[in-house]
Structures are given as C-alpha cells and as structure tokens.
Structure 1
C-alpha cells in the first residue's frame, strides 16, 4: 500500500509539473499559426460566391421635389390621392417592393423600390405616377442590389 501511494504521488507530481511547464511555455512563446490549407483558403471564396448568388438587382427611384408645387388644397389632395392609388396598384401587381416618404421636408421627398426586369420598366412606372405627371415630384432612378428576401423588422 505504501508503494502504491508513493507511485501515485510521483505520478501526480509529474502531471502537475508537466501542466505547469506547458502553461509557462504558452505564456512566454507566441503561438505559431499554421498556414491555412488549400481547402480553408477556398472557403471564403465559396462563401463569397454563395452570397452573390443570394443578391438581386432592384431599381430605386428617388423622388425629389418637383418644379410645380400647387397651393390649392383641393389640387394637392387630388394629386396625393392619385399618387397613393398608383402606389397601391404597383404593389398589388408585385412591381413595387417598398415605398415611403422622407419626413424631413427636404428636397428628397420619398423612394420607390421596384422589383421589375429593367430600368426602363421602373422609369415607365414612375412616370405614370400622378404626382410625377403633375410636376410635383421628379425622379432619379438607380439600379440597386440587395439580398433576396430581405425584409424590414
């Protein structure tokens, strides 16, 4: 029994000594990094390709304050009702993904984000808006890319 306790004590002392030595080495020597394998180097590239395949081109219309700003309340209301009806129609057809006004009353008045095949189609939809037709709004169109299926909370 005495011999077993001595052997166990020596074994524990050796294990403790090895653990302390290993900890001391890891504190004094900087860890060396292995060069990434070819497979690991391909992973970011593959991820990048996957991410791009999840991207889709939309068309964004920036709606700006136009040259004609009616002062007659009835006319303003008529143009606004037509504008909102046009927005609802485009949304119901699945062509308008998102729309909304800017709230700071600046030159930039709102946006349309279209899910259509071409810039020309987005232009035609924007030009058909009663507020654009009246000159109350003017548009600036840009192709815009976003991840498919992205939604706002």
Structure 2
C-alpha cells in the first residue's frame, strides 16, 4: 500500500510540475455531470496581419498573394528546402550505416519537435537525391547550419543542397 501511495504522489508531482505553453490558447471551463470541471483549450485565431507581423519581427520573409479567383489574400512565407543528396563517403560498414540511420532519423524528429523542420522524407527511387527536409527558419544560414548538423551529413554519406522555397502560410498537404 505504501508503494502505491508513493507512486501516486510521484505521478501527481510530475504532472503538476509540467509546464504547458498557453500563449495561443484560451482556457474554458465547462461542467458536465461530474464533480470536476472539464478544461477545454481553444486555439486563439490570429489574423493574417498578426501572423505576418510576428513572422517579420522574427526575421522571416513574407509577401501577400491575392488569389485571382477568390480575391482572398494569402500570406506567403519563405521556407528553405534542403535536398539530401548522396555523399562522397559511402564506405561505412552495415552496422555503422544502421547506427547513422537511427541518429539521422532521431535528428530529423528533433528538428520537427523543435519547430525547425516542417516535413522530411526520403525519395522512393535510388537516385542521387535521397530525400528532402523543409526548414521553417528565418535565414538560409540557419537552415544550412541545421541541415549540416545531421549525423548522416557529418559522416559524409549525405550532402546538402538548399534552396529558398515559398509556400502559403497555414496551408497543409493533401
């Protein structure tokens, strides 16, 4: 019983110590047929102007595009697309390649979690261009630095070629 109580307090301590970013949320309490109120987080909708001002303040390049058909104003943001190309050093043994691949995937996951990369993935053929990563950072220098910190690049199995790329802010892939 003592172990269960200690475990319960430990879990309670961990949960209560977690920090949650609330910058862009409104907290709304609702009560149903329960004793505890239910907390629902609703995202605060920012205007295109507010999004553009925030991006520009952080050094991102943007411009407005007016859709000829709908007459909607679409905010375009500059991203950086990194092509991961076959590198000159391909002599690693199978075990080392496996370790490098795990480190490479962990690195790309970390870039996504930190908000630096929006999407990454390999190509489906065996060509010289092995995959891409789209970096959501304000400068080419920053994208280049992040791309070249990839363990596969550092080992020479991949090399990076980066290009500025424009996309509509907030639009998703279909």
Partner residue of 1:113 out of 112, 134, 141: 134
**Equivalent residue for 2:121?**
100
Aligned length: 108
Pick which of 133-142 and 71-80 moved more: 71-80
Q: Would you say the 8 A contact 1:70–1:76 is kept in 2?
A: no
SS at the partner of 2:130? strand
Q: What is the CA distance between 1:149 and its match in structure 2? A: 1.3
**Equivalent residue for 1:89?**
110
Select the structure of larger CA radius of gyration: 1
Indicate whether 1:57 and 2:78 are aligned: yes
Which ranges in structure 1 are unaligned for 5 or more consecutive residues?
1-42
Q: Which has the higher contact order (CA 8 A, sep 6+)?
A: 1
Deviations along 1:72-97, whole A, 9 cap, x unmatched? 11010011011011001100101100
Q: Would you say the 8 A contact 1:132–1:138 is kept in 2?
A: yes
Partner residue of 2:148 out of 101, 104, 127: 127
TM-score by length of 1: 0.66
Indicate whether 1:75 and 2:108 are aligned: no
Which ranges in structure 2 are unaligned for 5 or more consecutive residues?
1-66
Q: What is the CA distance between 1:71 and its match in structure 2? A: 4.7
Higher strand proportion (structure 1 or 2): 2
Higher helix proportion (structure 1 or 2): 1
2:161 and 2:94 mapped to 1: Cα distance?
27
After superposition, the CA RMSD in angstroms is 2.0
TM-score by length of 2: 0.58
